[in-house]
Structure 1
Amino acid sequence: MTTSHRMATMEPSISVAVEFLPAATSQNPMTSGVGLSNVQLSRTRRRMLDLVNRLHSTGVQVDIDLPQIAVIGSQSAGKSSLIESISGITLPRAAGTCTRCPTEIRLSKTTTAWQCAVYIRTLTDAKGQAIGQARNEAFGDIITDKTKVEDRIRRAQKAILNPSTPAKRFLASNDEDDRDDSELSFSSNYVSLQISGPDVADLSFVDLPGLIASVSSSSKGGKDDITLVENLVTTYIKKENCIILLTVACETDFENQGAHRLAKQYDPQGKRTIGVLTKPDRIPTGEEPNWLPFIRNEKEPLVNNWFCVKQPSSNDLKANLTWEQARKREDTFFSSTAPWCELDSVYQKYLRTGNLVDRLSLILSDLISKRLPQIYYELEENTSNARRDLASLPPPPSDNPHTEIAALIHKFMNEVAKHVEGVPHADGLLQLIRPMHESFRIDIRSTAPIFRPFEKKHDGVQHIHRAPFLVNEEGEIWDGEESDVEDYDAYPRRQRSSAHPRKIFIEEVMQRANDAITREFPGRHPFVVQKTFMDEFITKWESPAQHLCAAVHRVMSDYIKKLVSIHFGNFGQGHLEQRIKTIVHQHIEQCRNTAEEKINWLLQLETRPFSLNTHYFTDYRNKFLTYFRGERQRYDQSKLALAINQYYQRQPTPAPVDYGIEKVMSGLAQIGLTGISAGDLHKLPSSGPLEPAMTIMADVRAYFQVAYKRFADNVPLAIDQELVCGVEVGLLNALYDQLGINTPEGQEICKDLAQESPQIADRRADLKKRLERLEIAQKELLAIGS
Structure 2
Amino acid sequence: WTSFNKKEIEEQLDEVRAKLDKLPDPITGNPQFELNRMIGNCASAIEKETKGEKRNLWRDVNKEFERFKIELCSTRPIFVVGKLRDGSTAKFDVLKEFLDPETSEFNLGLDESEPLKEITEADIQRRINDARGRHLPGFIPYSAASESIKDFQEKWKNPAFHCLSNIHGIMSKAVEESIEARFDRFPLLVGLMKHNAIKWLEECKKETLERLKFNMSMESSHPFTLDVGSMFVGKIAYLAALQEAVRNDNDRQPSDNLDLIAAVMAYFKLSFKRFADSVAMTIVHAFIDKYPKSVYEKLLMSIIDGGYDANELIQEDNTIVVAREELFQHEKRMQEVLDDLVRFGV
- Report the CA distance between 1:511 and its aligned residue: 2.4
Superposed, which structure 2 residues align to 1:570-585 within 5 Å? 570=185, 573-585=186-198
Match of 1:488 in 2: 110
Counterpart of 2:284? 720
Alignment of 1:439 onto 2:67: yes
1:566-645 to 2 correspondences below 5 Å: 566-570=181-185, 573-607=186-220, 608-636=222-250
Which of 40, 45, 66 in structure 2 is aligned with 1:410? Answer: 40
Letter in 2 for 1:510: Q
Distance 1:418 1:548 in 2: 22
Counterpart of 1:289? none
- Quick check: 2:42–2:182 contact (8 Å CA) kept in 1? yes
Q: Which residue of 1 aligns with 2:55?
A: 426
Tell me, yes or no, if the aligned pair for 1:447 and 1:537 is still in contact at 8 Å: yes
- Give CA deviations for 1:67-123 in whole Å, capped at 9, x if unaligned: xxxxxxxxxxxxxxxxxxxxxxxxxxxxxxxxxxxxxxxxxxxxxxxxxxxxxxxxx
Distance 1:447 1:772 in 2: 70
Q: Over residues 469-502 of structure 1, what are the superposed CA-to-partner deviations in whole Å (9 max), with x where a residue is unaligned? A: 965665426557xxxxx99339xxxxxxx83212
- Per the normalisation by structure 2, the TM-score is 0.88
Counterpart residue type for residue 170 of structure 2: V
Aligned counterpart for 1:504 among listed residues 111, 119, 136: 119
Structural RMSD (CA): 2.8
* SS of residue matched to 1:452: strand
Are positions 1:462 and 2:88 aligned together?
yes
Identity %: 23
One-letter identity of the residue aligned with 2:155: K
Query: Whose strand proportion is higher, 1 or 2?
Result: 1
Q: Secondary structure at the match of 1:520?
A: coil
What is the identity, as a one-letter code, of the residue corresponding to 1:488? L
What secondary structure sits across from 2:119 in the alignment? strand
Q: Is residue 2:294 matched to residue 1:730?
A: yes
Match of 1:392 among 6, 10, 22: 22
For the pair 1:51 / 2:9, whether they are aligned, the reply is: no
TM-score, normalised on structure 1? 0.41
Structure with higher RCO (Cα < 8 A, 6+ apart): 2
1:708 to 1:472, Cα distance in 2 relative to 1, 3 A: closer
Q: AA paired with 1:777?
A: V
Displacement of 1:453 after TM fit? 0.6
2: distance between equivalents of 1:466 and 1:540? 20
CA contact (8 A) 1:462 1:635 kept: no
CA spacing shift, 1:402–1:723, aligned 2, 3 Å:
same
Q: Give the SS at the match of 2:55.
A: coil
Deviation at 1:401, TM superposition (A): 0.5
SS across alignment from 1:516:
helix
User: Cα deviation per residue 1:743-774 (whole Å; 9 max; x = unaligned)?
Assistant: 8x66xx11111222221111111111222222
The DSSP-based 3-state class of the residue aligned with 2:90 is: coil
Q: Is the 8 A contact 2:80 2:91 kept in 1?
A: no
Q: CA deviation at 1:578?
A: 1.3
Of 512, 524, 531, the residue aligned with 2:146 is 531
| Cα drift, residue 513 of structure 1 | 1.6
Q: Is the contact made by 2:82 and 2:248 (CA closer than 8 Å) also made in structure 1?
A: no
Task: For residue 720 of structure 1, report the CA deviation from its aligned partner.
Answer: 1.1
Q: Is the 8 A contact 2:79 2:92 kept in 1?
A: no
Distance 1:626 1:475, change over 3 A: farther
State the number of aligned residues. Answer: 341
1:99-110 to 2 correspondences below 5 Å:
none
SS in 2 for 1:441: helix
- One-letter amino acid of the structure 2 residue matched with residue 426 of structure 1: R
CA distance in 2, matches of 1:390, 1:479: 55
Q: Is the 8 A contact 2:78 2:92 kept in 1?
A: no
Report the residue type matching 2:272 in the other structure: Y
Contact in 2 for aligned 1:450/1:503 (Cα 8 Å): yes
Query: Is the contact made by 1:453 and 1:506 (CA closer than 8 Å) also made in structure 2?
Result: yes
Query: How far is 1:406 from its partner?
Result: 1.0
Task: Select 2:267's aligned residue among 668, 683, 703.
Answer: 703
Partner of 1:543: 158
Larger helix share, 1 or 2: 2
Displacement, 1:422?
2.0
- Mapped to 2, the partners of 1:548 and 1:382 lie a distance apart of 53
- Separation in 2, partners of 1:518, 1:757: 77
* Letter in structure 2 aligned against 1:708: F
For the 8 Å contact 1:448–1:701, the answer to whether it is kept is no
Structure 2 match to 1:557:
172
Secondary structure of 1:539's partner? helix
**Structure 2 counterpart of 1:635, one-letter code:** D
